[in-house]
Amino acid sequence: MAKAPHPAPPRPAAPAASPVRVAPAVAPRTKITEPSTGARNIVRALEEQGVDTIFGMPGGAILPTYDPLYDSTKLRHILVRHEQGAGHAATGYAAATGRVGVCMATSGPGATNLITPLADAHMDSVPLVAITGQVGASMIGTDAFQEADIVGATMPLTKHSFLVTDPDEIPARIAEAFHIASTGRPGPVLVDIAKSAQQATSDFVWPPRMDLPGYHPVTKPHARQVREAARLLATARRPVLYVGGGAVRANAARELAELVNLSGAAVVTTLMARGVVPDSHPQNLGMPGMHGTVPAVAALQKADLIVALGARFDDRVTGRLDSFAPRATIVHADIDPAEISKNRTADVPIVGDLKEVVTDLTVELRAAHAQHGQPDLEGWWQQLDELRHTYPLGWAPTEDGLMAPQHVISRLGEISGPESIYVSGVGQHQMWAAQFISYEHPRTWLNSGGLGTMGYAVPAAMGAKVGRPDATVWAIDGDGCFQMTNQELATCALEEIPIKVALINNSSLGMVRQWQTLFYEGRYSHTDLHTGHETKHIPDFVKLAEAYGCVGLRCTSTADVDATIKRAMEIDDQPVVVDFVVSRDAMVWPMVAAGVSNDDIQYARGITPAWDRDE
């Protein structure tokens, strides 16, 4: 066994602590018993949970709760313009802070408008509690006005959904909802409360007795499996740490930095994990997958060992699954046992909290190094460094001479800096924001990764700014996404939430158009939105921003990009919308087409990287 020190690139010092606000410790409290109502029980339970912000909209079935909420001095209620905005705002708040986000809506359409953000939070493991009003208990099942079976509808899309008809049960169900949402694999929980229960008299008793039989998330990993993973990591010749969003949710950045440095392994960070390992770290190869970097994709394909940490072998990462990483032994660590071997069979499964897994793995890796010596990774890094040198991320000038969206986003990241929070919509601008902004801290990159929800950016940025008021928060949105939820700019203006929106306006549904270019012979069926160059400009985004009480700016020239971004940065007391009117023909590269092997990644159109795939 080789004893020479492995030649991984120079390692930086451990990253500074994340700027994430840490929730204050909750001191033990004496038992509270107060005369109350069901509605007041909801408000008091939220107060006792330490909630400071609720995003919501009232309606008939939740109206009893809005009455005592009016008197609360601990809860800030932010009145959104659409329930979907409430859900995404709560998600953005949670993703930026690590705390549980809270949203509230009435029955029927109010509740069903929350389904998209609940599904979004479920896919991306975001802790969220949604409280909905339901029709009176005696009317449930009668097709009463604005009745919808929201518990049945959301059960597959949440960690759990409760229906409460007894006012005395409300404190316990809300306490259970917060416990479930924030422990194990984080996720959304819905509490649907009948109007009759809200109106009934009750006693508020706190803390309540929670009753969750069978819910016991495993956090401590099995020592023997961790030891075997360490042995494999110490003896592999082409190891890769495949880091997913679970590492962000587990707040494992500091522990992960120690493992990365000790192992000398190559690191890839998924779309959801951007920032959990600093982009400046020399072992970080960037993002793998459909629009990942060539070195990251190649590293996974050529690895002899993949240690997956809070990642789920998503199809956007693996490409055609049967050709993914054909020679790799798989170690898969995740808090959710259902993820283990779901898509790719794990040779070493590890169930546990990522922070504990990584901590234990680091300890065991030191012992494995003592036994087996440091692995010889010189040849591995020579291959990877050659790929990094040959296939860096970049873009070509646009053929129409108009602004390149990649340039706008790149300059935005450089001028605003790594301490800012960037929240994207879904589409081309999302991929460019993931590629061309350098992320140095966890929880500074928020997006809808699993569900791919257009319309996520503006309300999620609003929530992030509420949770992290001292941070500069940029929503990077497309003209298609923006038109789905931009009404929340009114909320931002009235509630004094000064987010900044960089609208990457290519006048089309850009990613769909890219696929039409590549796979449908340029037949652009219904993707032109008429918002950009030489169009009707409907809507005029500057006028729209001003109508919402925001500052509206427009930039159409590359020469004006820096000055426009700096002007937006100077405005701290109002939301700002910058309409960057860019070329519609820019495309996202590299690319692995859907259903294709990662071996067939294209660096640019018609250019396939040369590497020895049979090596």
Question: Which candidate, 314, 337, 446, 328, places its Cα nearest to that of 380?
Answer: 328
Residue 278, domain member (yes or no): yes
Check if the beta carbon of residue 309 is closer than 8 Å to that of residue 244. Answer: yes
Q: What tokens were used for 78?
A: 């932010």
83 classed as catalytic: yes
The pLDDT, as a whole number, for residue 28 is: 56
Q: What tokens were used for 475?
A: 């929503």
Residue 322, domain member (yes or no): yes
Each residue's pLDDT tens digit, 285-326: 999 999 999 999 999 999 999 999 999 999 999 999 999 999
Set 48, 49, 55, 83: catalytic member: 83
Strand order in the sheet with 473-478: 445-446, 421-424, 473-478, 500-505, 576-581, 551-555
Set 146, 199, 487, 574: catalytic member: 146
Question: Which candidate, 233, 250, 272, 249, places its Cα nearest to that of 355?
Answer: 250
Set 287, 511, 587, 591: catalytic member: 511
Note whether 202 and 126 are same-domain residues.
yes
Contacts of 230 (CB under 8 A, 6+ apart): 361, 364, 365, 367, 368
488 classed as catalytic: no
Note whether 375 and 434 are same-domain residues.
no
Note whether 373 and 456 are same-domain residues.
no
- Give the CATH number for residue 79: 3.40.50.970
The pLDDT, as a whole number, for residue 23 is: 45
Longest Cα separation, the chain: 75
Each residue's pLDDT tens digit, 496-546: 999 999 999 999 999 999 999 999 999 999 999 999 999 999 999 999 999
Average pLDDT over residues 399-414: 97
Q: How confident is the model at residue 15 (pLDDT cuts 50, 70, 90)?
A: very low
Domain boundary pick from 391, 426, 450: 391
Note whether 198 and 233 are same-domain residues.
no
Q: How confident is the model at residue 595 (pLDDT cuts 50, 70, 90)?
A: confident
Q: How many domains does the chain have?
A: 3
Residue 347, domain member (yes or no): yes
Note whether 195 and 271 are same-domain residues.
no
Distance CA 215, CA 249 (A): 19
541 classed as catalytic: no
Question: Hey, is 588 helix, strand or coil?
Answer: coil
Residue 252, domain member (yes or no): yes
Set 195, 302, 355, 465: catalytic member: 195
Q: How confident is the model at residue 610 (pLDDT cuts 50, 70, 90)?
A: confident
Set 3, 74, 145, 382: catalytic member: 145
Residue 10, domain member (yes or no): no
Q: What's the whole-number average pLDDT of the chain?
A: 94
Note whether 557 and 466 are same-domain residues.
yes
Contacts of 338 (CB under 8 A, 6+ apart): none
The pLDDT, as a whole number, for residue 24 is: 46
Residue 297, domain member (yes or no): yes
Domain boundary pick from 206, 231, 264: 206
Q: What tokens were used for 85?
A: 């905005």
How many C-beta atoms surround the C-beta of residue 201 within 10 A?
11
The pLDDT, as a whole number, for residue 30 is: 81
Check if the beta carbon of residue 421 is closer than 8 Å to that of residue 464. Answer: yes
Residue 273, domain member (yes or no): yes
H-helix or E-strand spanning residue 194: strand 188-194
Instruction: List residues bridging with 130 in a β-sheet.
Output: 103, 190
Note whether 569 and 433 are same-domain residues.
yes
Check if the beta carbon of residue 362 is closer than 8 Å to that of residue 258. Answer: yes
Q: How far is CA 462 from CA 93, 412, 436, 473, 494, in A?
A: 8, 19, 23, 8, 12
Q: Which residue type, as a one-letter code, is found at position 245?
A: G
Note whether 260 and 299 are same-domain residues.
yes
Note whether 180 and 314 are same-domain residues.
no
- Give the CATH number for residue 327: 3.40.50.1220
Q: What tokens were used for 135?
A: 């029709």
Residue 400, domain member (yes or no): no
The pLDDT, as a whole number, for residue 29 is: 64
The pLDDT, as a whole number, for residue 4 is: 37
Note whether 70 and 198 are same-domain residues.
yes
Instruction: List residues bridging with 604 in a β-sheet.
Output: 607
Distance CA 228, CA 331 (A): 9
Residue ranges making up the domain that contains 303: 223-391
195 classed as catalytic: yes
146 classed as catalytic: yes
The pLDDT, as a whole number, for residue 522 is: 97
Question: Hey, is 544 helix, strand or coil?
Answer: helix
Domain boundary pick from 362, 391, 420: 391
Question: Which candidate, 597, 595, 412, 421, places its Cα nearest to that of 502?
Answer: 412
Note whether 465 and 553 are same-domain residues.
yes
The pLDDT, as a whole number, for residue 613 is: 59
Note whether 248 and 294 are same-domain residues.
yes
What pTM value is reported for the model? 0.94
What phi and psi values does residue 118 have, to the nearest 5 degrees?
Answer: -65, -45
Question: Which candidate, 605, 516, 598, 612, places its Cα nearest to that of 290?
Answer: 598
Question: Which candidate, 485, 477, 331, places its Cα nearest to that of 405?
Answer: 477
